[in-house]
Structure 1
Amino acid sequence: MSTIRSQRYVEAKNDHIQAVDDTIERNNRKSKVDMALFQGDMILTNEQAEEIMEDVKKNESGRRKRQARRDFRYPRSIWSKGVNYAFWNASNEAMTAFRKAAALWSEDTCIDFVENNTGKTKTVTESKCGFRAGLIKKYFTSKYSAVDRIDVIKSVGCFSYVGKVGRTQSFSLGEGCESIGTASHELGHALGFIHTQSRHDRDSFITLLPENFLDGWISQFVKDSIYINHNYNLTYDYGSIMHYSTGSVSKNGQPTMLPRLPKYLKTLGSRIISFYDKLMMNLHYGCLAHFKAPPGSKIEVVLDYFTRRFSNDGCVHGGIEIKTENDKRLTGYR
């Protein structure tokens, strides 16, 4: 079965737009930082790394008990007062991509982004990086380092911390990473999201093909346990911007993962923030408000006009997205 489905994948491969994680993977592998980062593009604090290692042990022992990450620091790990960010040596293309990605995440959520470059002192230091924060030298210094802030830099590759870690945290959009899709994916990490294929329930939705992985990569596809992976009762979204593509980190051009529903074969690796991405982010940040009409009255919503297309969550470069599930909020197959 896997062989047949792999052949179908190869035949259909070239008519799919470039997946966001393919760009991240390719650039980070070219820069030789992919294996130094957790799952190819995430920096972990020492505490997060230790927690994940302990979590792996719990999974292996069978003591399992939830794509947002709710670790022991939650809710301190969310940007409850908005996201301050500053640009250091980032290229003009990277700055444009970051601002547009921030606007996309801010739209339809309660998360505000504030550019805050006042009083900075630029001190650039090149450094090798590792997925533990303790292995990373300071890239920059600032006069106001006490402010929780994202520092957008041009380093080697594309990477981010996971959630707010306190004070300043590096966010790299290096050469080849200056697309809106890549910036949106990395911002998803900075806001607290892990990769979709790391969900504790992923085996019910995708099948991994270890024989096709680049050497050393299969261990990076470790699942989170229900203890630290909280999905807010939302089902698996194949079209999440946080999902790797079918051919990600492949050593032979064959798929490394296949959706259990074949119709989603070309949906994985989206460069678009999905409805479910924003819904989960709103739940993670407590953005949802509920209200009801007073007794004897009702709430009516009148749409005066539309300023955009009726749908903006599908294929934006020509194509069609078909929604066949009962839940129309869920990404369809493309």
Structure 2
Amino acid sequence: MLLRAGVALILLGCCLAQGWGKRGNNNSTRSPRGKGSRKHNWGDKMNEQQIGAFRKSLSHTNVDRFHAALDKMRERAAERIEPNEQEKAGMYERMKQMRPHTRTPRVRPDGDTLTEVNEKQGVSQNLYGGDMALDDPQVDVILGDFVEDDDSTDDDVAARKKRQAYRNSRYPANLWGSGSASPMVYYYFDGLTANAQKMAQLAIDFWQNSTCITFVKSTTNSNRIRFFTGQGCYSYVGMIGGTQDLSLGTGCDSFGTAAHEIGHALGFFHEQSRLDRDNAITVNFNNIPSDWVDQFDKETTSTNFNYGMPYDYGSVMQYGASSASSNRQATMVSKVPVYQDTMGSDKVSFYDISMMNDHYKCKAKCTSGATCVNGGFRNSKNCNSCICPEGWGGATCAERASGCGAALTATSTLQQASITVGSGQQTVQPTWAKCHHMITAPAGNKIEITLNTLQYQQCQEGCIYTGIEVKASLDHRLTGIRYCCSDDVGQKIISEGNIVPIITYNRYYQSTFTFSYRLVPSSTASTIQLAQFPSAGATYSTSTNPNTNGGGTGGGGTTVTCTDDANCVTWASNGFCTSSTYTAAQKKQYCPNKCNMCS
């Protein structure tokens, strides 16, 4: 997620494009990419005053050059990022497994999500990825292949050819504090509404309390962020230098949106743009208008660094599954179908926090202190305490998170639990009321969880107002499976391990969730296969396969027959058999039938 959806080791900056205010006949309609490309009339949903203010806020960007590059990129989007036929076939198969939802009406008239707000405000197509301004050096690095003018210097051209070197030349200078041990971000509010300022401060406090970064109010520091009421929600990426604008306009006054835009300002791009995103999602270009395809542009090895962390569907930098859709249908399809509604979260995920700590070298500050477990890490502001994955708490992340909820023990007998969470007020609350359950079964077992009832639903994409989150993966650092719709009642999950944290949360009225649970044998197939493919560097034991002689986890002595791993249906649909990451021997070992390698 760095560098675009992961952390952006932020190199860049950009400009916006041409044709401002030219409202044209059919050009004002949104058409799917497959209907043919067209140039966008930049600013065609803004009046002249709004256009002027928007351009002024992009003071680090040659706007016309930026927009010209975006136009060119959109024209060539298909050859860059459209999935192949096998990938699309797998996507359609997964879509058949997904439950149709009857969404509840919007809670906020200006839009419940950042992408809805920016579409309504008419700014999405005027920014990279729907909400990012790029300065001129960033335009050269990210959109360099599409810049066709004489403004570039010899250094710019060299940067395009050697993007990795260009990145290294600016990192860590593009971090706030330029890589110092105690990074400081200077900021001030300029004309924000009272609620937008409140949400911005909540998000600032969250990032400050979760990292080694200190935010300081200042209108005079040479490098600072100006939070202002602009046209929609957007930000520059990383520290640009001088005063850089971050807009929280109409509809942007929510914690999640503020945390997302601050994430950009600190160096994050979008999760769905990660270099490895094709292992986690398939982009459905049939549902994307031609002038929105850049929202799904994918990073390269030169612009994306994720600190070894996996793709997280619940990242606050991940757009919702139907973002930028021409028909309200999915533009992103999860390769693990049960995670479809986890995308579009308004909550900062644990991996977001962990990655930001790595990006700013916060973890290196604690050379001793608490021994954190369950994936937690030392808090750089108090090394004797830990920052824990949601669901876990205590000084070392060894306990259930405090507050409402309960520790539950699964047995072979079906048991039931119920919880009501929320303020009961029919207004959107600033943050979430939460309760935490922890279900444990004896080692060597898995846990079956069934959602029995869901009262007072808010069936919104990303479950942004209320939901129940089930962490069925072995990796509790990952965001769990989220349910928030009446259509989800009856859904059954089989965990990967014998411990399952469950988080229920609400920030609009209240919700009641009832779920049942019991232990099941470890041989029971898990509902999720979070690892889309086997680890490329590992070998798998075949001792449990009755048709295999020998065994063990080493590379030698394992006899492979034409019996597929239990996960091969999923792996094959995700492109394992055609992946260049794995050798022919590995494909034959894991999925000989699916990969047609039995002979």
TM superposition score category, shorter chain reference: 0.7 to 0.9
- TM-aligned CA distance change 1:308 to 1:155, over 3 Å: farther
SS in 1 for 2:300: coil
2:208 to 106, 112, 133: 106
1:266 to 341, 347, 358: 341
SS in 2 for 1:197: helix
Amino acid in structure 2 at the alignment position of 1:76: A
**Is the aligned partner of 1:328 residue 2:476?**
yes
1:285 to 360, 363, 385: 360
1:35 counterpart residue number: 125
**Is the aligned partner of 1:78 residue 2:168?**
no
SS in 1 for 2:467: coil
- TM-aligned CA distance change 1:285 to 1:187, over 3 Å: same
- TM-aligned CA distance change 1:87 to 1:252, over 3 Å: same
- TM-aligned CA distance change 1:306 to 1:108, over 3 Å: farther
1:116 counterpart residue number: 218
The 5-angstrom pairing of residues 77-96 of structure 1 reads 77-80=174-177, 81-96=183-198
SS in 1 for 2:198: helix
- TM-aligned CA distance change 1:177 to 1:38, over 3 Å: same
Q: Find the aligned partners of 2:361 and 2:234 in 1 and give their Cα distance.
A: 26
The 5-angstrom pairing of residues 1-334 of structure 1 reads 2-3=91-92, 5-6=94-95, 11-12=100-101, 14=103, 23-54=113-144, 72-80=169-177, 81-117=183-219, 144=220, 147-288=222-363, 289-292=365-368, 303=395, 309=403, 317-334=465-482
Q: Find the aligned partners of 2:343 and 2:358 in 1 and give their Cα distance.
A: 23
Offset from partner CA, 1:51-97 (integer Å, 9 cap, x none): 0124789xxxxx9999xxx6642111111231111111111111101
**Structure 1: unaligned runs, 5 residues or longer:** 58-62, 118-143, 294-298
How many residues matched?
293
Offset from partner CA, 1:107-144 (integer Å, 9 cap, x none): 22111111224xxxxxxxxxxxxxxxxxxxxxxxxxx3
Amino acid in structure 2 at the alignment position of 1:110: C
Q: Is the 8 A contact 1:275 1:313 kept in 2?
A: no
Q: Is the 8 A contact 1:151 1:171 kept in 2?
A: yes
SS in 2 for 1:265: helix
Offset from partner CA, 1:244-279 (integer Å, 9 cap, x none): 111101111110011101111100000000000000
SS in 2 for 1:114: strand
Amino acid in structure 2 at the alignment position of 1:12: H
Q: Is the 8 A contact 1:198 1:222 kept in 2?
A: yes
| Greater mean deviation of Cα atoms: 76-85 or 233-242 | 76-85
Residue 40 of structure 1 deviates from its aligned partner by: 0.7
- TM-aligned CA distance change 1:307 to 1:212, over 3 Å: closer
Q: Is the 8 A contact 2:471 2:481 kept in 1?
A: yes
Q: Is the 8 A contact 1:16 1:266 kept in 2?
A: no
SS in 1 for 2:291: coil
Q: Find the aligned partners of 2:162 and 2:96 in 1 and give their Cα distance.
A: 36
Q: Is the 8 A contact 2:91 2:335 kept in 1?
A: no
- TM-aligned CA distance change 1:258 to 1:166, over 3 Å: same
Q: Is the 8 A contact 1:6 1:254 kept in 2?
A: no
| Greater mean deviation of Cα atoms: 28-37 or 7-16 | 7-16
Amino acid in structure 2 at the alignment position of 1:243: Q
Q: Find the aligned partners of 2:269 and 2:194 in 1 and give their Cα distance.
A: 27
Q: Is the 8 A contact 2:237 2:268 kept in 1?
A: yes
Q: Is the 8 A contact 2:128 2:294 kept in 1?
A: no
Higher relative contact order (CA 8 A, sep 6+): 1
| TM value normalised by structure 2 | 0.45
| Greater mean deviation of Cα atoms: 38-47 or 81-90 | 81-90
Q: Is the 8 A contact 2:118 2:130 kept in 1?
A: yes
Q: Is the 8 A contact 2:106 2:112 kept in 1?
A: no
- TM-aligned CA distance change 1:260 to 1:71, over 3 Å: farther
Amino acid in structure 2 at the alignment position of 1:152: F
User: CA-atom RMSD, angstroms?
Assistant: 3.4
SS in 1 for 2:235: strand
- TM-aligned CA distance change 1:101 to 1:253, over 3 Å: same
- TM-aligned CA distance change 1:6 to 1:306, over 3 Å: closer
- TM-aligned CA distance change 1:318 to 1:16, over 3 Å: farther
Which of the pair has more CA radius of gyration? 2
Residue 23 of structure 1 deviates from its aligned partner by: 2.1
1:141 counterpart residue number: none
Residue 204 of structure 1 deviates from its aligned partner by: 0.9
Residue 2 of structure 1 deviates from its aligned partner by: 4.2
Higher strand share: 2
Amino acid in structure 2 at the alignment position of 1:291: T
Residue 309 of structure 1 deviates from its aligned partner by: 3.8
Amino acid in structure 1 at the alignment position of 2:114: I
Q: Find the aligned partners of 1:230 and 1:244 in 2 and give their Cα distance.
A: 19
Amino acid in structure 2 at the alignment position of 1:176: G
Q: Is the 8 A contact 2:315 2:345 kept in 1?
A: yes
Q: Find the aligned partners of 2:303 and 2:404 in 1 and give their Cα distance.
A: 36
- TM-aligned CA distance change 1:300 to 1:250, over 3 Å: closer
- TM-aligned CA distance change 1:278 to 1:13, over 3 Å: farther
**Structure 2: unaligned runs, 5 residues or longer:** 1-89, 148-160, 178-182, 370-382, 386-393, 406-433, 437-462, 483-599
